[in-house]
A and B are shown apart, each in its own frame.
Chain A
Amino acid sequence: MFRNQYDTDVTTWSPAGRLFQVEYAMEAVKQGSAAIGLRSRTHVVLACVNKANNELSSHQKKIFKVDDHIGVAIAGLTADGRVLSRYMRSECINHAFTYESPLPVGRLVVQLADKAQVCTQRSWKRPYGVGLLVAGLDESGAHLYYNCPSGNYFEYQAFAIGSRSQAAKTYLERRFEKFMDSSRDDLVKDALIAIRETLQGERLTSNICTVAVVGVGEPFHILDQNTVQQLIDAFEIVAEEEPPAAEAGDAADQETAAGEGAPAEEGAAPMDI
């Protein structure tokens, strides 16, 4: 996309029928660090790569709990993501107050999309530069949605956004048909492996990734570092025997193998959140 005379403001169409500012906003999402989501019938898992700017600073927070039954992972301008998370939390809590009942994810996502659309049709605004993976539960089951700066939203079985997300998407595309009936633990494992794909050879440790789960009987929560490290160690051992790309879906010995692995090499020493 080259700079041209139709991209100065969001309310100018190009002759080809494109809104360049909106497309540039979607580029911002691609520059952010990776976030992935996948779901089964009863659970949704979100995972993201947390890179710190330098050794001294803490990570960017990229996963937000919106309500007990909804969480969101962001990629792109994290400040915009924070503001949208606050909006989502506000909508959920207002609904719960009036109706004593959780706001269905599908409705929240539409409200979010409409909010994003407004910014694509006002000359004094700019589109939100953040893509949101919204994970939630409602009456009709577990759902994963992607909201993009253009104001579009789609429901996904599994998706990855952010930089180097294509590697994760490739991994997920190979395996998504099994996700619907996966167990919760398998889902988390798949999420971690997908994250590892985006790291392009860098070692996966719990310091640089965050995982969150929501499911039936399990409110949205972020897994703590130790748990994540144990899970990583469990499949890293198995993966040493065969290359990661060709790994078969072996399920059960994850729990028994947990805790066996040596503690992960620290590498960078960022602060915990």
Chain B
Amino acid sequence: MQELCKHPFVLVRLPMPDDACVSCEIGYSSLLVHRRCPMMYGKGLKDYVEQVPGSRSGSLFSERTLYPYVTGTALVALVYRDGILMAADMGGSYGSTLRYKTIERIKPIGKHSLLGASGEISDFQEILRYLDELILYDNMWDDGNSLGPKEVHNYLTQLMYNRRNKFNPLWNSLVLGGVKNGQKYLGMVSMIGVSFKENHVATGFGNHLARPILRDEWNENLSFEDGVKLLEKCMRVLLYRDRSAVNKIQIVKITEEGTTNFPPYSLKTFWGFESYEKPTAGEEGHHLKMTN
């Protein structure tokens, strides 16, 4: 059995099979080559993407996303009496660093929809560019017809699913909500193309922390104030328990009349628990315990 090198290797199609480094060569038309093999120098190989044999004519490599970089955390949204309410924090994390604090993760799309995203922010911006073009062409028809939330949701579903099939996903969980002709619509699309409609949705950590709250407390006739209170309850739990949450909340509402962006604000938190104020109470005899 041939011993493969332990370093990360990559599948490439090299011009000449003999060029591959001896320790890694497998004698097929696609070769497993050491990523650091001198033969790979200058081939434009990046460490954070994986190369697969190029399917597009003329290119030796195609790339696919392996992991996201600047990410947004959870998003929560619900249908209320007059329309849709969506809430997200304004943070963009760079790994474990809470690096950016003014990222708007909820944007209006056309006249009738709102798109919120968690996951890779650059992919969200790319999606916004696609949708911008879509809405532009829709407006250019100028014929009394317009793309509503249902149409945009389905377009996004196809977009995400087709990217997933090419093993190059847009690394986002999207929430699409809107109102058109009195019909309220709220749906989600994930990065693998799973798509559905619901009365209340959440992404990321919100799936675990917010949805149980929404299941218990959501009802069809929520007023605007009740809706905001419910969203705040969810966002507060997320703020306490999600390490990538940032205390700067953006709430956006959409109704038949249009979109309203509320100015970002912070949630009030309470940390005055006895266990936090006296963390070592009850630990008799510990050598680090303060004696006072």
Residues of A participating in the B interface, judged by any CB pair closer than 8 Å:
97-101, 104, 106-107, 110, 138-140
Contacts and interface: CB of A to CB of B under 8 A. Distances in A.
Interface residues of B, number: 13
A99 B151 contact: yes
A104 B150 contact: no
Contacts of A97: 158
A139 B144 contact: yes
B151 A100 contact: yes
A101 B148 contact: yes
B145 interface: yes
A140 B155 contact: no
B143 A104 contact: yes
Given A100-B150, A101-B150, A106 B155 contact: no
A140 B147 CA distance: 13
Contact of B154 (A99, A139, A140): A99
A98 B147 CA distance: 12
Interface of B: 141, 143-145, 147-148, 150-151, 153-155, 158, 181
Contacts of A98: 154-155, 158
Contacts of B143: 104, 106-107, 140
B154 to A, nearest CB: 4
B154 A107 contact: no
Contacts of B145: 104, 106-107, 138-140
B154 A100 contact: yes
Nearest to B144: A140
A104 B154 CA distance: 16
Contacts of B150: 99-101
State the 10 A-B residue pairs at the shortest beta-carbon distance, nearest first.
A99-B151, A100-B154, A104-B145, A140-B144, A106-B143, A101-B151, A99-B154, A139-B145, A98-B158, A98-B155
A138 B141 CA distance: 14
Contact of B147 (A99, A110, A138): A99
A110 B142 CA distance: 12
A99 B157 CA distance: 9
Nearest to A96: B154
A17 to B, nearest CB: 29
Given A106-B141, A106-B144, A107-B143, 9 more contacts: A97-B158, A99-B150, A99-B151, A99-B155, A100-B151, A101-B151, A101-B154, A106-B143, A106-B145
B223 to A, nearest CB: 30
Contact of A107 (B141, B148, B153, B158): B141
B165 to A, nearest CB: 15
A72 B208 CA distance: 52
20 contacts: A97-B158, A98-B154, A98-B155, A99-B151, A100-B150, A100-B151, A100-B153, A100-B154, A101-B148, A101-B151, A101-B154, A104-B143, A104-B145, A106-B143, A107-B143, A107-B145, A139-B144, A139-B145, A140-B144, A140-B145
